[in-house]
Amino acid sequence: MPTYQIRGDVPRKRHIQFRDNGSLLTEEVMGLEGFSGNQSILYHLHSPCRIRELGDFEPIEREEWVPDAHAHRHMRTMDVDEDGDAVSARRLLMWNNDVEISLCRPAEPMDYFYRNGEGDEVIFVHQGGGTLETIFGDLPYRDGDYIVVPRGTTYRFAFDGPQRHLVFESPGLIEIPRRYRNEYGQLLEHAPFYHRDIHPPAELRTSRDRGRYEVKVRVRDGYQTYVLDYHPFDVVGWDGYVYPWTFNIRDFEPITGRIHMPPPSHQTFQGKNFVICSFCPRKLDFDPLAIPIPYHHSNLNSEEMLYYVDGNFSSRKGIEVASVTLHPSGIPHGPQPGLAEKSIGQTETHELAVMCDTFYPLKLTKLAKELDDPDYAYSWYDEPLPGRTIEENPAGVTSHF
């Protein structure tokens, strides 16, 4: 999406004869928004429609948890089980019609190929590295990467070592914010990242292998398996604007101000009715009277999900690496008692976090119930409560919300 790319061999013109050892190749235009959006053109050894066998269709089942009370939530996700492969290990935590947010700790290699037929994906790699093998070529990734996978991309994870992913899937497009781009698509000077920070597939590897290959495609709220008699990475060349890419959160250039900058200054991606933001280590507000942490706020039509990646959270009560907080719409949120005072004079923050704000309410799953910390809703109350102990200094310095 960010710029025009070309890999492998493509003919001189679109839609003309192009042969491989005398055989006519199959041209596929993979495009968005009915031939009016971005597209790539791929040249296959086989028709991409060719299937040997229609496999099973597995409907997606979401187990909703409706809490007894509407309250701020904190979930500790560090100990979520390692289980399954890089797709089947995705465990849905919360969702609405615009975005699904899942935790993923895969333990096994994928023995099939995967394609999200009806949604874009952003996979934030909290821990781990490897290669996303795709029909557009190999995409190496490392910890801190956002792996952006446009719908229609056939892929398979090949990872080295333990993995911890936070996965966003959306039926809408996930894009670089419009206000960061000029009318030609180039990233503007005020954007917090540049094209050099964006990494497309490194190398196209054309497979001519024949055999039995399974491709699982997410469609119609389920997974349809197709069995092919050829390797799905049969592309000899492609060009265009649609392909997977990575962007590392540590390449996000934070925008700071004399007084507090609001969350849109941290925006990294725009989705339909949601945004994804990166909170990175940075200098804090420098006015002599500045309060470096946020004011209380009621984003009246926003839900705020925050995933804590790295840094010192010990000063924030109960929050740890891989914690998720959800501050839902309808009620205000802000720093815990004492925190604003404590933050005065702080000059920098070293915390790293990923935030997703949605403009419509999120539903929770039973996994969220399993991980829920019921004390969090009371963490703004600094008087003793029956059955609960109040830490001597419950508030610490955090700069996110």
- We find the least distance from the C-beta atom of residue 304 to Fe ion, in angstroms, to be 5
Q: Could you give phi then psi for residue 339, rounded to 5 degrees? A: -70, -40
Given the rule CB under 5 A, which of 59-67, 86-94, 213-221, 298-306 is the region that contacts Fe ion? 298-306
Q: How far is the CB of 357 from Fe ion (least distance, A)?
A: 8
304 part of the interface to Fe ion, by CB under 5 A: yes
Segment interacting with Fe ion (CB under 5 A) among 81-89, 208-216, 299-307, 341-349: 299-307
Determine the interface stretch with Fe ion among 184-192, 221-229, 245-253, 304-312 (rule: CB under 5 A): 304-312
Write down the least CB distance from residue 297 to Fe ion, Å: 6
Decide if residue 401 touches Fe ion (CB under 5 A).
yes
User: Which residues are bridge partners to 164 per DSSP?
Assistant: 127
| Residue among 242 and 291 whose Cβ is closer to Fe ion | 291
Q: How far is the CB of 342 from Fe ion (least distance, A)?
A: 18
Nearest to 118 by CA among 272, 274, 276: 272
Q: Give 237 or 292: the residue with its C-beta nearer to Fe ion.
A: 292
310 is a contact residue toward Fe ion (CB under 5 A): no
Size of site (CB under 5 A) for Fe ion: 2
Tokens of 245: 């890419």
303: contact with Fe ion by CB under 5 A: no
Rounded Cα–Cα distance for residues 90 and 102 (Å): 6
Minimum Å gap between C-beta 153 and Fe ion is: 33
- 325 phi, psi to nearest 5 deg: -110, 150
Measured CA to CA, the distance from residue 279 to residue 268 in angstroms comes to: 10
> Does residue 28 come out as left (phi exceeding 0), alpha (psi in the -120 to 50 range) or beta?
beta
* Of 307 and 401, CB closest to Fe ion: 401
Query: Around 173, how many Cα atoms within 13 Å sit in the side-chain half-sphere?
Result: 11
Q: Which residue carries 């000029």 as its tokens?
A: 182
* Closer residue to Fe ion, CB minimum distance, 85 or 304: 304
Task: Give me the residues that bind Fe ion (CB under 5 A), please.
Answer: 304, 401
